[in-house]
Structure 1
Amino acid sequence: MLKIGLLGAGRIGRVHAVNIAGHAATTLAAVSDVNEEAAQSLAAAYGARALGTDAILADASIDAVLIATSTDTHSDLIEKATAAGKAVLCEKPVDLSLERAKACLAKTADSGKPVMIGFNRRFDPNFAAVRAALSAGDIGKAELLSITSFDPAPPPVSYIKVSGGLFRDMMIHDFDMANFMMGGAPASIHAVGTSIVDPAIGAAGDVDTAVVTLTYTDGRIAVIKNSRRAVYGYDQRLELLGSEGLLSAANILENTVSKATKAGVTSAKPEFFFLERYMRAYAIEWDAFVSSIVNGTPLPVSLEDGIAALALAEAATQSAKSGQPVKLAL
C-alpha cells in the first residue's frame, strides 16, 4: 500500500483525495495547505493527518506526493519532493515560466524519482479512444485536428491576475492534447486573442476568447478554440480528420434523453463544468500513476510533456501580442 501526501486542499485537491483514498493500492496519509483549516477538514474526512508541507516531505513513510497547490509553487515542490525521495504527480502547469520549468527538469533529472504532470484529459475514455483508433491506423494519417474547449463562465478577475493567462492556464490542456494526438510539437504557432466576454479580463492583461493554429513540419494543421463563456455548459469536443476517415469525440451530456416532436428535436446540455465532465478521467489518471510506480513502467505523462505544453502556451502568448506566427524551438 502506497502512502500518499496531498499538498493542497482546495477544489482540485479534494477531487484527488477521493481517488487517492478510493484506490486499492493507495492510502491518503497526510494533507497540507496554506489554509490550515482546509487541510484539517480534508484530512479528517479520510482519517489522514494534517501536516505542514515540509513535514510531509520529511516523512520517510510517505512514498509519493500529489501537488495540487498554486501554480507558482509547483517547480519548487517538485524539486523538494524528488530530493526527499518521493514520486510526484503534479497538477498542470509545471510553472508559469518556461525557463523555470526547464530548470526544474534539469534539477530533477538525476533524482531517479518519477514526476508525472496532471494532464487529465489524456485519460478521458473518449479522447483516449480517438488516440487509440488513430494509432491503430483506422483513419490513416492524421491531417487536420480541431479542438474546442469552452468554459461555461469566466473565473473571477482576481484569479485571472495570478493564473498566467488563458494560454498558460486554460489552453495548456489543449496544447497537451494536440501534442498527444499529433505525436509531437508543431513547428510554428499563430494565436489570436480578444477580450469580448468580460472587459475586466482585458484590463487585467489577459484574453477570454482565442483561436490558435498549429502548423507541423509535414503540413498537418491543428486548430484550437477557447472561450471563457459558453452559456449552455462545458463544451469539450475534438475532431480529427485523416487521410482515410474522421474520428470525433462529442460532449458528454447531462443525460441521454432526447425529445422529438413536430417542433423539432432537443436533447440535454453538456455537463456543466470540469468536475463533472472529467471526474472519471481523474480516477483513471491516478490509477495510471499508481500502476507506473508499482510496476516501474514509464509514466504516461512526463515532466518533458509538461514543458512541451508550456512552451506552446508561451509561444501563443507571444504570438497573440505580436500578431505574428512564432516558430517553436524545443
Structure 2
Amino acid sequence: MLNVALLGAGRIGQVHAESMTATRDSRVVAVADVNREAAEALAARIGAAARSVDEIIADPAIDAVLIATSTDTHSDLITRATQAGKAVLCEKPVDLSLERALTTLAAAEATGRPVMIGFNRRFDPNFAALKAGFDQGRIGKGELLSITSFDPAPPPVEYVRVSGGLFRDMMIHDFDMACWLFGGPPARLTAHGAALVDPAIGEAGDVDTAAVTMVWGDGRIAVIKNSRRAAYGYDQRVEILGEKGLLSARNVLENTVEALTAYGAVAAKPLHFFLERYMRAYQIEWQAFLDAVTQDRPMPVTLREGVAALACAEAATRSLATGTTISLTPGMLG
C-alpha cells in the first residue's frame, strides 16, 4: 500500500483524485493547493488531510506524489520530490520551457527515482489496442500516421494566455502519441497554424487551428491536425497506414444506435469532452503507475519521453514563427 499525495486541487487534480481513490493499492493521505480552501474541500471529500507542498515533500511517510499543479511549477516539483526520494506522476507537459525540462531531466535521473509523465491517451483502451496490433505486425511497417484531435469549443482567452500555446498545451498529447506509435521522435517537422475560431486567441499570440507534418529518418510521415472547435463534439481519431493494411481507432460515440432509412444513415455524435472520453484512461494510467512503482517495473511513460514531446512542441512553435522546417537535434532531446 503506497501513501500518496496529490499536488493540485483544480479540475485536473479532481479528475485524478477519482482514480487515486478508486484503487486499493494506494492511499491518498494529503492534498496541497495554492488555494487552501480548494485543498481542504477536496481533502475532506476523499478522506485526506490538507497540507502544504513543503510538508508533503518533507514527509518520509509519503511514498509518491501526483503533480497536477500549474505547468510552470512542474519542473521544480519533480526535482524536489525526486530528491526527497519520492516516486512522481506528473501531468503533461513537463514544463513550458524545454531548457528547464532538460535541467529537470538531468536532476531527476541523478536521483534514480521513478518519474512518469501523464499522457493519459496512451492508456485509452482503443488507442492501446491499436498500438498492440501495430506492434504485433498486423499491418507491417507503418508508413503514414494521421492523428486528429479537435476540441468542441475553445478555452477562455485568459487560459490561452498562460497555457504556453496550442502546441505545448493541446497538440503535445498528439506529439507523444506519434512518438509512441512510431518508436521515438521524428527527425524534423513543419507546422502551420492560424486563429480561425476566435480572433482573440490570435491577439493573445496563439493559434486555434493547426497542422503539423513530422518526418522520421527513414521517411515515415505523420500528420497531426488540431482545432479548438468541432461543432459535433470531441473528435479523437488515429489512423496508421502500413505495408499490409490500415489500423484505425475511431471516435467513441454517445451511444451505438444507428438509424438506417431511405434517406440515409444517422448515428450519434462523439462524446462531448475529455472528461467523458478519457475517464477510463486516467484510471488505467494511475494503476499502471502504481504497478511500476510497487513491482519495480519501468515507467510506461518516462520523463525522457515527456521531454521528447515537449521538444516537438518547441520545434513546432519555432517552425510556425519562422515558416521553416525544424530539425530535432540530440540537444533538444536530452
> Shorter-chain TM-score category?
over 0.9
Query: Which amino acid in the other structure matches residue 273 of structure 1?
Result: F
Aligned residues: 330
Q: How far does residue 264 in structure 1 lie from its aligned partner after superposition? A: 1.5
Higher mean Cα deviation, 282-291 or 262-271? Answer: 262-271
Do residues 305 (structure 1) and 302 (structure 2) align?
Answer: no
> 2:62 & 2:18 partners in 1: Cα distance?
18
Q: How far does residue 3 in structure 1 lie from its aligned partner after superposition? A: 0.8
Q: What are the Cα deviations for residues 136-179 of structure 1, in whole angstroms up to 9, with x where unaligned?
A: 11000000000000000000000000000000000000000000
Q: How far does residue 46 in structure 1 lie from its aligned partner after superposition? A: 1.0
Q: How far does residue 60 in structure 1 lie from its aligned partner after superposition? A: 1.3
Alignment of 1:69-80 (within 5 A): 69-80=69-80
Query: Which amino acid in the other structure matches residue 262 of structure 1?
Result: A
> 2:44 & 2:101 partners in 1: Cα distance?
34
Do residues 210 (structure 1) and 222 (structure 2) align?
Answer: no
Secondary structure of residue in 2 paired with 1:256: coil
Alignment of 1:146-165 (within 5 A): 146-165=146-165
Q: What are the Cα deviations for residues 82-106 of structure 1, in whole angstroms up to 9, with x where unaligned?
A: 1111100000000000010000011
Per the alignment, residue 96 of structure 2 pairs with: 96
Secondary structure of residue in 2 paired with 1:214: strand
> 2:178 & 2:241 partners in 1: Cα distance?
13
Query: Which amino acid in the other structure matches residue 169 of structure 2?
Result: D
Query: Which amino acid in the other structure matches residue 9 of structure 1?
Result: A
Q: How far does residue 254 in structure 1 lie from its aligned partner after superposition? A: 0.8
Alignment of 1:76-155 (within 5 A): 76-155=76-155
Q: How far does residue 259 in structure 1 lie from its aligned partner after superposition? A: 1.2
> 2:33 & 2:266 partners in 1: Cα distance?
45
> 2:42 & 2:254 partners in 1: Cα distance?
28
Give the unaligned 5+ runs of structure 2. none
> 2:216 & 2:46 partners in 1: Cα distance?
47
Query: Which amino acid in the other structure matches residue 99 of structure 2?
Result: E
Query: Which amino acid in the other structure matches residue 131 of structure 2?
Result: R
Per the alignment, residue 277 of structure 1 pairs with: 277
Alignment of 1:14-25 (within 5 A): 14-25=14-25
Per the alignment, residue 249 of structure 1 pairs with: 249
Give the unaligned 5+ runs of structure 1. none
Per the alignment, residue 228 of structure 2 pairs with: 228
Query: Which amino acid in the other structure matches residue 287 of structure 2?
Result: D
Secondary structure of residue in 2 paired with 1:22: coil
CA RMSD of aligned residues (A): 0.6
> 2:312 & 2:298 partners in 1: Cα distance?
24
Alignment of 1:32-43 (within 5 A): 32-43=32-43
> 1:277 & 1:140 partners in 2: Cα distance?
29
Q: How far does residue 253 in structure 1 lie from its aligned partner after superposition? A: 0.5
The percent of aligned pairs where both chains have the same amino acid is 65
Runs of 4+ in 1 over 6 A off after TM superposition: none
Per the alignment, residue 193 of structure 1 pairs with: 193
Q: What are the Cα deviations for residues 211-251 of structure 1, in whole angstroms up to 9, with x where unaligned?
A: 00001111110000000000110000000000001000000
Secondary structure of residue in 2 paired with 1:205: coil
Query: Which amino acid in the other structure matches residue 94 of structure 1?
Result: V
Do residues 322 (structure 1) and 317 (structure 2) align?
Answer: no
Query: Which amino acid in the other structure matches residue 318 of structure 1?
Result: R
Give the structure-1-normalised TM-score.
0.99
Q: What are the Cα deviations for residues 21-43 of structure 1, in whole angstroms up to 9, with x where unaligned?
A: 11110111100111111111110
Q: What are the Cα deviations for residues 161-211 of structure 1, in whole angstroms up to 9, with x where unaligned?
A: 000000000000000000001011111100000001000000000000000
Q: How far does residue 258 in structure 1 lie from its aligned partner after superposition? A: 1.1
Higher mean Cα deviation, 132-141 or 255-264? Answer: 255-264
Q: How far does residue 59 in structure 1 lie from its aligned partner after superposition? A: 1.3
